[in-house]
Amino acid sequence: MSGFGKGCHLHLIDGSAFIFRAFHALPPLTRKSDGLPVGAVQGFCNMLHKYVADNAGPDAPTHAAVIFDKGSHTFRNDLYDEYKANREAMPEDLRPQIPLTRKATEAFNIACKELEGYEADDIIATLACQARDAGGRVTIISSDKDLMQLVGDGVEMLDAMKNRRIDREGVIEKFGVGPERVVDVQALAGDSVDNVPGAPGIGIKTAALLINEFGDLESLLDRAEEIKQPKRRQTLIDMRDQIELSKRLVQLDCDTPIDFGLDDLEVRDPDPEVLMPFLAEMEFRSLSKRIAEHLGVEAPIIADAPPPPSDAPDAPSFEAADYACVRDAEALEAWIAQIRERGWVAVDTETTGLNEMVADLVGISLCVEAGTACYIPLTHKAGATDDLFGEEGLAEGQMPLEEALALLKPVLEDPAVLKIGQNMKYDAKIFARYGVDVAPIDDTMLLSYALHGGLHGHGMDTLSERYLAHSPIPIKPLLGSGKSAITFDRVPIDDAVPYAAEDADITLRLWQTFKPLLHQSRVTTVYETLERPLVPVLAQMERNGIKVDRDTLSRMSNAFAQKMAGLEAEIHELAGETFNVGSPKQLGEILFDKMGIEGGKRGKTGAYATGVDVLEDLATEHDLPARVLDWRQVSKLKSTYTDALQTHINPETGRVHTSYSIAGASTGRLASTDPNLQNIPVRTEEGRRIREAFVAEPGNLLVSLDYSQIELRILAHIAGIPALKAAFAEGQDIHAMTASEMFDVPMEEMTPDVRRKAKAINFGVIYGISGFGLARNLRIPRAEAQGFIDRYFERFPGIRAYMDETKAFAKEHGYVQTLFGRRIHTPEINAKGPRASFAYRAAINAPIQGTAADVIRRAMVRMPAAIEGLPAKMLLQVHDELLFEVAEDAVEDVIARAREVMEGAADPAVHLDVKLTVDAGQGANWAEAH
């Protein structure tokens, strides 16, 4: 290459951002041999490898460098000694890893640059300017807003996390001005993270407004007298020096005295002779294997590896794996022998659909060690050979389903053979329909949930990509999509084998990866008491289903349809034209443009907001929004409940079978899908009637047991609030007690309104209270809401301490914990900006909501044994409620036993200072039982 110039493309990676991201995104990891923390280094290497691997295309960079900060004192500190003064100290675990990330960059043979006394941003600015002036392109890999001033003229940014490019338009979207005026806006708005003062009372929005009006900062300051708002005018006049200082702080230096040139940054291939030893030194086993594979060299042998649960010393790559197709009893028996020899097997089923209540078994995959897997096709259809009667034969070369199941059943039910699956509830339910009761089990999805809850999803694709660096064969090309989609039994066996067997292979490798980590992360008990044992319990509940009366729903649907039609006519009449009432966009235009109602607020997409709270405010003055609210309620009830629910009634059982996701919610709660039976209406009279359609079989009753105020009780325990504990012990009305404390109203004189306020505050505390949130909820001025909160903290001082401690814990560890040891990761807690506030509130809430979720999980796990022998079935869980179907004469027995289990569910693992109490109800339908 003859020097940097036109046609060249320079990539500049913000090294510090990479390190911090790697550090916070990953669980702590130490080097086995000496305990040196290396998690961030590993994450950093992962990102570099991904970066290198992703940049092979025609748009590949010709030049690249990773830029680091160096030294804590920069010229900005000379300008302003408070610059970055409120930044928190670097975490202890991260400090020793910083020099290692530099070594890593060099090991990857990527230029690694820094300059004493200068921030990485200034070096990036200098290089970007040089490259631009030479006529080349530049991509800055960072999402730091301070770098946005450099965008334009061939310079772009790339947010590697979101894989989003930020160009001139992106900058305007963020700052309201073009890149050349970004520093002016920043000078006015300041930056709390870097402690740039700016002008008090002016944020980005206002700053952009002013700059756009006056052209640039200098003109604005010179002509500050012309500003109409008196306060703003005075601020700009008084604060001129501070604003000008701020500008010098945010302005990047394009002239740093670097001692190298663009030509030194030419992209070079990594040298395996250097890279491999470095990875070996770090003891990155799987990463070095992966990179060795990518470079086509031998992976280094890293001594002192922890013994994997597999006896396979070197797992073959997925590409090299050769999967078997099992077509007869003899071959299957050979596999079964291998399984018995080892004592475990990864299992995966292929079926005709996602609904386990309906789907039929098509084939089974087994894997006994990494790379050694098979697929047993069972009911694949022959190709396009259907005859006139639509009868289709089975494809050739499959063993009879019954024969295969007869051979496998003893193994699948053998207590000495562990069956490993990814989302085993699905497979267990399928097998159950064929008379096979799979046990014991391990579930890689649940292992990941216990280990990484809150960090990422736990689907197989995610886990495989993250932990095995392998993208599973996608199912789409096999099945097609849309109308022409086929079911798995129509996939040719030859195509099915690699796909299906690979799933079992991946599952086994994930198990080998995760299982040893359980102990290290101290979540073995969580997995073994709260996750794994729930699988058979939920499988049984889902198979039980709940009887839903179609006629009741159908009648309600008709009534709703009539009511909607009437309301719609009224609404059109009021609007003076017909429009789609269900379209928030059209409704907004009618209300705020056509009718000219004041106070329409536009959301981020530019459409008017027309949510309930907006319409409720308008409804006091206008009829139309009031009618729309009515229409919406009816429309919701009809479409989501009376209509959709009917389609979920299983024709064979006459019941509705929901599916619970165990690893969906980050806090440990379950989530119900297809249909969601955890959000059946109850708060309004009209909605509650939907529950009349959920009925018991003749001779039975529905029995509902729910925890009373479980989250507040847990809060009282965790935060140690004597007043709350005492109130619960005495069985007082907790919201009334709170109100009495806070507003100095004796309990006898309590009014509903005062109690309502206290209730909102109690909930607010659980949610990580803020003045703004409470103000909005209660529709009171923010200052008043803040006053309530201050008073609450004064009266219940333990709350404040709990919040502070929880926040500190999250910041230090990257996760928070429930009383039972469940970890909920909060990777964003150390982010900057509003994301951190989100993470903060979620971190406050997670231990409370999560502990409540753990409690009911424990109750559910114990429930089958507790009601054994009684004519009762557990049907549904709704977070703090369990619903049973019970023969009439056994109702009292079941209530007594279930209540005992639920009230004692925390014991013996945790002794709560506050007792848990359970309310019970019964009736012919769910409305009566609740």
Contact between 676 and DNA (CB under 7 A)?
A: yes
Contacts with DNA, 31-70, as mask; x by CB under 7 A: ----------------------------------------
Contact between 471 and DNA (CB under 7 A)?
A: no
- Among residues 63, 466, 532, 632, the one that binds DNA under rule CB under 7 A: 632
Output 12 or 769, the one with its CB closest to DNA. Answer: 769
Minimal distance, residue 602 CB to DNA, in Å:
9
Touching DNA, residues 560-589 (CB under 7 A): 580, 582-586, 588
* Distance set, CA 797 to CA 432, 559, 588, 673, 732 (Å): 53, 52, 45, 40, 20
**Distance of alpha carbon 662 from alpha carbon 670, whole angstroms:** 5
Would you state the torsion angle of the CA atoms of residues 606, 607, 613, 614, taken in this order, to the nearest 10 degrees?
A: 100
Tell which residue, 624, 621, 629, 614, has the closest CA to residue 575. 624
- Among residues 448, 512, 642, 672, the one that binds DNA under rule CB under 7 A: 672
**Which of the ranges 56-64, 155-163, 496-504, 675-683 carries the binding residues for DNA, by CB under 7 A?**
675-683
- Among residues 683, 699, 748, 869, the one that binds DNA under rule CB under 7 A: 683
- Among residues 77, 552, 639, 650, the one that binds DNA under rule CB under 7 A: 639
Minimal distance, residue 613 CB to DNA, in Å:
7
Output 192 or 558, the one with its CB closest to DNA. Answer: 192
Output 486 or 644, the one with its CB closest to DNA. Answer: 644
CB atoms near residue 520 (< 10 Å): 14
Contact between 624 and DNA (CB under 7 A)?
A: no
Q: Which two tokens stand for residue 166?
A: 């930020």
Contact between 636 and DNA (CB under 7 A)?
A: yes
Output 295 or 609, the one with its CB closest to DNA. Answer: 609
* Distance set, CA 448 to CA 462, 673, 710, 827, 872 (Å): 11, 21, 27, 16, 33
Output 423 or 633, the one with its CB closest to DNA. Answer: 633
**Which of the ranges 27-35, 131-139, 331-339, 664-672 carries the binding residues for DNA, by CB under 7 A?**
664-672
Give the Cα-Cα-Cα angle 574, 576, 578 (nearest 5 degrees): 100
Q: Which two tokens stand for residue 267?
A: 């992209």
Minimal distance, residue 440 CB to DNA, in Å:
27
Output 201 or 261, the one with its CB closest to DNA. Answer: 201
Contact between 770 and DNA (CB under 7 A)?
A: yes
Structural contact between residues 664 and 865, judged by C-beta atoms closer than 8 angstroms: no
Structural contact between residues 898 and 882, judged by C-beta atoms closer than 8 angstroms: yes
- Among residues 673, 722, 804, 812, the one that binds DNA under rule CB under 7 A: 673
Contact between 644 and DNA (CB under 7 A)?
A: yes
- Among residues 80, 763, 793, 809, the one that binds DNA under rule CB under 7 A: 763
**Which of the ranges 340-348, 555-563, 631-639, 744-752 carries the binding residues for DNA, by CB under 7 A?**
631-639
Contact between 629 and DNA (CB under 7 A)?
A: yes
* Residue recorded with tokens 């993208």: 471
**Distance of alpha carbon 149 from alpha carbon 795, whole angstroms:** 49
Give the Cα-Cα-Cα angle 378, 383, 388 (nearest 5 degrees): 110
- Among residues 457, 664, 871, 904, the one that binds DNA under rule CB under 7 A: 664
Output 37 or 198, the one with its CB closest to DNA. Answer: 198
**Which of the ranges 30-38, 218-226, 278-286, 673-681 carries the binding residues for DNA, by CB under 7 A?**
673-681
Q: How many residues bind DNA (CB under 7 A)?
A: 82
Q: Is 66 helix (H, G, I), strand (E, B) or coil?
A: strand
Would you state the torsion angle of the CA atoms of residues 168, 174, 178, 180, taken in this order, to the nearest 10 degrees?
A: -100
**Distance of alpha carbon 495 from alpha carbon 507, whole angstroms:** 19
Output 65 or 702, the one with its CB closest to DNA. Answer: 702
> Regarding beta strands 918-923 and 700-707, do their DSSP bridges make them parallel or antiparallel, or are they unpaired?
antiparallel
Minimal distance, residue 709 CB to DNA, in Å:
10
Contact between 764 and DNA (CB under 7 A)?
A: yes
Q: Is 366 left (phi over 0), alpha (psi -120 to 50) or beta?
A: beta
Q: Which two tokens stand for residue 157?
A: 């940014």
Touching DNA, residues 812-851 (CB under 7 A): 833-834, 837-838, 841-842, 845-846, 849
Output 98 or 836, the one with its CB closest to DNA. Answer: 836
- Among residues 67, 424, 541, 760, the one that binds DNA under rule CB under 7 A: 760
> Regarding beta strands 694-695 and 546-548, do their DSSP bridges make them parallel or antiparallel, or are they unpaired?
antiparallel
Minimal distance, residue 444 CB to DNA, in Å:
19
Q: Which two tokens stand for residue 133?
A: 């002036």
Contact between 761 and DNA (CB under 7 A)?
A: yes
Touching DNA, residues 70-129 (CB under 7 A): none
* Distance set, CA 714 to CA 709, 764, 766, 782, 880 (Å): 9, 15, 10, 28, 13
Contact between 5 and DNA (CB under 7 A)?
A: no
In 3-state terms the chain splits into helix, strand, coil percentages (rounded to 5) of: 50, 15, 35
Tell which residue, 204, 206, 128, 161, has the closest CA to residue 24. 161
Q: Which residues contact 819 (CB under 8 A, 6 or more apart)?
A: 714, 717, 718, 847, 851, 854, 906, 910
Contact between 799 and DNA (CB under 7 A)?
A: no
- Among residues 665, 742, 816, 874, the one that binds DNA under rule CB under 7 A: 665
**Distance of alpha carbon 810 from alpha carbon 783, whole angstroms:** 29
Starting at the edge strand that comes first in sequence, how are the strands of the sheet with 164-166 ordered?
111-113, 63-67, 9-14, 137-141, 155-159, 164-166
Minimal distance, residue 769 CB to DNA, in Å:
4
Contact between 219 and DNA (CB under 7 A)?
A: no
Cis, peptide link before residue 675, omega less than 30° from 0: yes
Output 115 or 769, the one with its CB closest to DNA. Answer: 769
Quote the distance between the C-alpha of residue 710 and its chain's center.
24
Contact between 159 and DNA (CB under 7 A)?
A: no
**Distance of alpha carbon 916 from alpha carbon 573, whole angstroms:** 54
**Distance of alpha carbon 914 from alpha carbon 908, whole angstroms:** 14
Contact between 258 and DNA (CB under 7 A)?
A: no
Touching DNA, residues 595-614 (CB under 7 A): 603-605, 607, 609-612
**Which of the ranges 25-33, 179-187, 639-647, 746-754 carries the binding residues for DNA, by CB under 7 A?**
639-647
Contact between 619 and DNA (CB under 7 A)?
A: no
Minimal distance, residue 669 CB to DNA, in Å:
6
Touching DNA, residues 862-901 (CB under 7 A): 878-881
Contact between 132 and DNA (CB under 7 A)?
A: no
**Which of the ranges 282-290, 442-450, 765-773, 891-899 carries the binding residues for DNA, by CB under 7 A?**
765-773
Minimal distance, residue 474 CB to DNA, in Å:
13
Contact between 480 and DNA (CB under 7 A)?
A: no
Contact between 170 and DNA (CB under 7 A)?
A: no
Minimal distance, residue 350 CB to DNA, in Å:
23
